[in-house]
Amino acid sequence: MVCWIGAFVMVGTVLMMATLMANGSGAASNTSHMMLIGGAFFGNLLAGAAGVPGGLAFFLRGRRWLMVWIFAGLLIAGVLAVAIGFGIFFASAS
C-alpha cells in the first residue's frame, strides 16, 4: 500500500506540473484548463486511494473479492476522471 501511494504521489507531482503548464499558448479557455487540472487531481486522488483496498485484499481473506472490486472501481474511476479532463481540454484547444 505504501509503495502504491508513494508512486501516485510522484505521478501526481509530475501530472500537476504538466497540467499547470498545458495552456501556455492560451489556445484553450480558462474553464477547460481548470477542468483539466481538476480532473487530473481528482483522478490521481482516486487512483492513489485504490491502493488501500488493494493492499487490504492480501490480508482480509474473507473480503478479498470485495476489496479487489473496490480497488478496480477506484482505479477505473480515477483513470476515467483524468481521461475526461484531458478530453475536455483538447476538445477546447482545437
What gap in Å lies between CA 19 and CA 7, rounded to an integer? 18
pLDDT greater than 80 at residue 94? no
Alpha helices in 21-63 (DSSP H): 30-49, 51-56
Only one residue has cell 509503495, namely: 3
What gap in Å lies between CA 12 and CA 24, rounded to an integer? 20
The reported pLDDT for the residue numbered 26 is 82
Q: Where are the domains of the chain?
A: 2-14+28-93
pLDDT tens for residues 1-17?
Answer: 888 888 988 998 998 89
